[in-house]
Structure 1
Amino acid sequence: MKQERSRPAAPKTAKVVLWCTLVFLYLPIAVMMGGSLLWNEGTGLQLSFHWFREVLGDEAWMGALFNSVVVAICSASIATVLGTLGALGLYKNRGAWVKTLDALSVASLIFPEIVFALSLLSWFFLLKFELGLATVVMAHVSFSISYVMMTVSARLATLEASLEDAARDLGASEWQVYKTVLLPLLSPAILGGFIMSFLLSFDDFLITYFVNGVGQDTLPVKLYAAMKMGVSPKLNALSTMMFLLTLLVSIFFFRSSAFRVLFEGARGNDGTNAKEEDF
Structure 2
Amino acid sequence: MAEATATVTAATTTDAAPAPAPARRRRRRGILVPLWLGYVFLYLPIVIVVVMSFNDSRNLFVWNGFSLRWYPELFRDGAMMQGLANTLVVASGATLIATVLGTLLAYGIHHYTRGGLIRAFAIAPAILPDLLLGIGLLTFFSLLSVTLGLHSVILAHAVFATAFVTAIVLARMANLDPSLEEASRDLGMGPARTFLRITLPQLAPGIVAGALLAFTLSLDEFVIAFFTTAPTQPTLPIVIYSMVRFGVTPEVNALATLLLLVSIVAVISAQRLTRLTGPER
Q: TM-score, normalised by structure 2?
A: 0.85
2:209/2:271 contact within 8 Å kept: no
Q: AA paired with 2:147?
A: E
Structure 1 residue 25: deviation in Å?
1.3
1:110 CA displacement: 3.4
Closer/same/farther in 2, CA of residues 35 and 151 from structure 1, 3 Å limit? same
How do 1:1-279 and structure 2 match up within 5 A?
A: 11-40=28-57, 45-94=64-113, 99-255=116-272, 258-262=273-277, 266=278, 273-275=279-281
Distance 1:24 1:99 in 2: 37
Q: Give the ranges of 4+ consecutive aligned residues of structure 1 lying more than 4 Å apart after TM superposition.
A: none
Q: Deviations over 1:198-246 (max 9, x none)?
A: 1111110011111110121111111111111111212111111111111
Q: Which has the larger radius of gyration?
A: 2
Looking at structure 2, the residues matched to 46 and 53 of structure 1 have their Cα atoms a distance apart, in angstroms, of 17
In structure 1, runs of 5+ residues without a counterpart are 1-7, 267-272
Shift of 1:16: 1.6
Shift of 1:259: 2.1
| SS at structure 2 position matched to 1:16 | helix
The superposition leaves residues 6-64 of structure 1 with CA deviations (integer Å, 9 ceiling, x where unpaired) of xx8671112222222111111111111111111149xx812111111100111211111
Which residue of 2 is the match for residue 269 of structure 1? none
Q: Deviations over 1:73-114 (max 9, x none)?
A: 11011011011111111222146xx74432211221332221
Counterpart of 1:77, as a letter, is L
Where does structure 2 lack aligned partners over 5 or more consecutive residues? 1-23
Q: Distance in 2 between matches of 1:133 and 1:82?
A: 19
Q: Find the aligned partners of 1:123 and 1:40 in 2 and give their Cα distance.
A: 47
Q: Which moved more, 1:122-131 or 1:14-23?
A: 14-23
Identity within the alignment, %: 36
TM-score, normalised by the number of residues in structure 1: 0.85
1:170–1:126 Cα change, 3 Å: same
Q: Residue 175 of structure 1: CA displacement? A: 2.1
Matching residue's letter, 1:274: E
Please tell me the residue identity of whatever aligns with 1:260: R
In 1, the alpha carbon distance for the partners of 2:119 and 2:274 equals: 23
